[in-house]
């Protein structure tokens, strides 16, 4: 029974799938991809000619079953298993017009054994045929969505197997320890009074330390994937929306001298030196009677809570007094931005050791005027610096998804349990190591992931 379910997903039994693999909309060239046992027969049906030699492009007139001309296309066949999916693959490089693509997709749909692909189904087949592990597949999906150079670099690194190698190395080491532990259970070693569990304990604990270090690296891989969230906050009229517009170099948010102008959260994307940033403007924080403004403030504080960096804005004429509502937000995740410096005497503002100067621990202090542009380019470089520091790749690759984080935390939990059981019960201790190895195996997809595969791959585009 079990073997049969494996065979179901392998190439001989699968349907042949097809999809437009290039972007939607009119383009110079559109690529339709087919994968599965009927891919070559489908090409023969559309072109009326034998399939060209594998991996060589050929020009073919494509017609539908009524003989209507569809396109003069460039076609390529890839023989399984030397293909992206591991199955027979055909690519139709079409003229990118709507009617051409629609005509070809319709003609394919009418061929027996062919059906449109689900999102991510090509990659899913590549995974099933061991062309990719899960981290590589995720890297591929990230590459397709990469908006900045640093995101592209991280995705390519993951596609090269950087995370796979790291996690497989850890798993391999655990499995080796496990083999010793199991041998010891069957044939205890008289020379080791604490048993093998005691002997391998230091190695396992040092491995656990490596995993914990990897976990505390500050969300850098996730931030790079999702965009680093910079939240602009402060009291009404601090100049938040003005600053957003200045940094975005675009008139995105409404600015006025009325307090409480902004109530919705406004988010824009920036590319700071190749790093993706989500810059978020929020409602001014104050005691408010209005229900809508209150909701705006609630949302502002929620965003501030999950920010990677907070820009806490204070008007130069209020400085150095810090509004009560902002006190709790000033920490090492905050940058203090003194705004509207044109409205007051700069010497007074910039004097660091003013009497009554609050003693705050923040990442940085900046002084800006959106009116005169003074300080804006400095603020820009400080932000760029901060963002690079937070997301620049390290020698050991960073985890890029909550999915990885959860599995690693699970592994650490099992290793903690191993630590407790090591001196007490060899059988339990071995089981803990086995479970930890299993948690690591879930990241690459080696074990126990059948139930999450649909979730992972359905997040991909159609045609990928």
Ligand X SMILES: Nc1nc2c(c(=O)[nH]1)N(C=O)[C@@H](CNc1ccc(C(=O)N[C@@H](CCC(=O)O)C(=O)O)cc1)CN2
Ligand Y SMILES: Nc1nc2c(ncn2[C@@H]2O[C@H](COP(=O)(O)OP(=O)(O)OP(=O)(O)O)[C@@H](O)[C@H]2O)c(=O)[nH]1
- Taking CB atoms, the residue at the shortest distance from ligand Y is 284
Residue 84 binding ligand X, by CB under 6 A: yes
Question: Which CB, 184 or 235, lies closer to Mg ion?
Answer: 235
> 3-state DSSP call for residue 386?
helix
The answer to whether residue 129 forms part of the interface with ligand X (CB under 6 A) is no
Contact predicate 73/59, CB 8 Å: yes
> For 45-166, where are the E strands, in sequence order?
58-63, 69-78, 89-95, 114-116
Task: Return the axis-axis angle of helices 195-215 and 426-444, rounded to nearest 10°.
Answer: 30
Q: Which is nearer to ligand X, 122 or 170 (CB)?
A: 122
User: Site for ligand X (CB under 6 A): which residue of 91, 121, 138, 432?
Assistant: 91
Residue 237 marked as a ligand binder = yes
What is the 3-state secondary structure of 187-253? CCCCCCCCHHHHHHHHHHHHHHHHHHHHHCCCCHHHHHHHCEEEEEEECCCCCHHHHHHHHHCCCCC
Among 79, 95, 115, 131, contact with ligand X (rule: CB under 6 A): 131
| Residue 463 assigned to a binding site | no
User: What does 256 bind: ligand Y, Mg ion, ligand X, none (CB cut-off 5 to 8 Å by kind)?
Assistant: ligand Y
Q: Which of 260, 273, 323, 393 binds ligand Y (CB under 6 A)?
A: 260
Residue 331 Cβ, how far from Mg ion at the closest point, in Å?
Answer: 23
3-state secondary structure of 118: coil
Identify the burial level of 405 via C-beta atoms within 10 angstroms of its C-beta, where 0-12 means exposed, 13-18 middle and 19 or more buried.
middle
The most distant pair of C-alpha atoms in the chain lies apart, rounded to whole Å, by 88
Residue 3 assigned as binding residue: no
Residue 99 in marked binding region: no
**Minimum CB distance to ligand X, residue 122 (Å):** 8
**Residue 206 C-beta-side C-alpha neighbours within 13 Å:** 6
Instruction: Please indicate if the annotation marks 389 as binding a ligand.
Output: no
Is 287 within any annotated ligand binding site?
Answer: no
Residue 221 binding target from ligand X, ligand Y, Mg ion, none, CB below 5 to 8 Å by type: none
Q: Which of residues 379-398 bind Mg ion (CB under 5 A)?
A: none
What φ, ψ does residue 354 adopt, rounded to 5°? -65, 145
For the window 267-296, what string marks contact with ligand Y as x by the rule CB under 6 A?
Answer: ----------------xx------------
Q: Is 33 annotated as a binding residue?
A: yes
284 carries a ligand binding annotation = yes
Q: Which stretch binds ligand X (CB under 6 A): 79-87, 166-174, 185-193, 396-404?
A: 79-87
Residue 356 backbone class (left: φ over 0; alpha: ψ -120 to 50; beta: rest): left
Q: By CB under 6 A, is residue 83 in contact with ligand Y? A: no
Residue 46 binding ligand Y, by CB under 6 A: no
Q: What is the contact mask toward Mg ion in residues 226 to 255, using x (rule: CB under 5 A)?
A: --------------xx--------------
Which C-beta is closer to Mg ion: that of 89 or that of 233? 233
Q: How far apart are CA 136 and CA 152, in angstroms?
A: 13
Are 308 and 390 in contact by the 8 Å Cβ rule? The answer is yes
CA 264 to CA 335: how far, in whole Å?
22
Contact between 113 and 15 (Cβ < 8 Å): yes
- Does residue 429 bind ligand Y (CB under 6 A)? no
Contact between 385 and 364 (Cβ < 8 Å): no
User: Closest distance between ligand Y and the C-beta of residue 325, in Å?
Assistant: 12
Which stretch, 44-52, 95-103, 262-270, 357-365, contacts Mg ion (CB under 5 A)? Answer: 262-270
Contact 10, 128 (CB under 8 A): yes
Rounded least distance, CB 84 to ligand X, Å = 4
Per-residue b/e over 185-218, b at no fewer than 16 CB within 10 Å?
eeeeeeeeeebbbebbbeebeebbeebeebbeee
Tell me if 96 is assigned to a ligand binding site. Answer: no
Q: What is the DSSP letter of 341?
A: G
Check the annotation: does 210 bind a ligand. Answer: no
Contact segment (CB under 6 A) with ligand Y among 5-13, 147-155, 199-207, 237-245 equals 237-245
Sequence ranges of the binding site for (6S)-5-formyl-5,6,7,8-tetrahydrofolate: 33, 91, 131, 464
Instruction: Tell me which residues touch ligand Y (CB under 6 A).
Output: 234, 236-242, 255-257, 259-262, 283-284, 339-340, 342-343, 369-371
């Amino acid at each position: 029974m079990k073997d049969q379910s494996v065979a179901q997903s392998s190439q001989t039994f699968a349907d042949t799938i097809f999809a437009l693999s290039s972007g939607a909309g009119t383009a110079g060239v559109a690529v339709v991809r087919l994968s599965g046992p009927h891919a070559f027969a489908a090409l023969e049906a559309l072109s009326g000619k034998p399939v060209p030699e594998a991996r060589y492009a050929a020009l073919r007139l494509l017609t539908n079953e009524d003989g209507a001309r569809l396109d003069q296309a460039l076609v390529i066949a890839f023989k399984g298993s030397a293909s992206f999916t591991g199955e027979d693959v055909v690519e139709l490089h079409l003229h990118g017009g709507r009617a051409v693509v629609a005509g070809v997709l319709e003609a394919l749909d009418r061929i027996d054994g062919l059906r449109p692909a689900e999102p991510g189904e090509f990659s899913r087949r590549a995974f099933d045929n061991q062309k990719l592990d899960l981290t590589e597949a995720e890297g591929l999906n990230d590459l397709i969505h990469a908006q900045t150079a640093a995101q592209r670099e991280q995705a390519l690194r993951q596609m090269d197997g950087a995370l796979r190698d790291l996690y497989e190395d850890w798993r391999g080491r655990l499995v080796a320890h496990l083999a010793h532990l199991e041998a010891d259970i069957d044939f205890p070693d008289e020379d080791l009074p604490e048993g093998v569990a005691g002997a391998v304990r230091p190695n396992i604990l040092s491995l656990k330390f490596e995993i914990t270090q990897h976990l505390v690296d500050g969300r850098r891989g996730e931030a790079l994937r999702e965009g680093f969230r910079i939240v602009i906050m402060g009291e009404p009229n601090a100049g938040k929306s003005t600053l957003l517009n200045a940094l975005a170099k675009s008139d995105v948010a409404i600015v006025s001298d009325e307090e409480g102008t902004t109530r919705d959260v406004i988010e824009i994307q920036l590319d700071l030196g190749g790093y993706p940033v989500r810059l978020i403007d929020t409602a001014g924080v104050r005691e408010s009677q209005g229900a809508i403004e209150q909701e705006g403030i609630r949302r502002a504080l929620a965003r501030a809570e999950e920010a990677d960096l907070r820009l806490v804005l204070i008007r130069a004429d209020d400085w150095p007094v810090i509004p009560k509502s902002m006190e709790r937000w000033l920490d090492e995740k905050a940058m203090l931005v003194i705004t509207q410096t044109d409205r007051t005497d700069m010497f007074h503002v910039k004097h660091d050791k003013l009497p009554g100067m609050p003693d705050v621990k923040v990442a940085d202090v900046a002084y800006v005027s959106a009116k005169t542009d003074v300080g804006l380019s400095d603020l820009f470089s400080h932000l760029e610096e901060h963002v690079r520091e937070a997301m620049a790749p390290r020698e050991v690759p960073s985890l890029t998804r909550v999915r990885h984080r959860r599995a690693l935390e699970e592994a650490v939990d099992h290793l903690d349990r191993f630590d407790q059981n090591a001196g007490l019960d060899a059988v339990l201790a071995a089981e803990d190591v086995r479970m930890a190895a299993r948690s690591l195996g879930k990241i690459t997809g080696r074990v126990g992931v059948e139930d999450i595969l649909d979730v992972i791959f359905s997040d991909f585009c159609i045609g990928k």
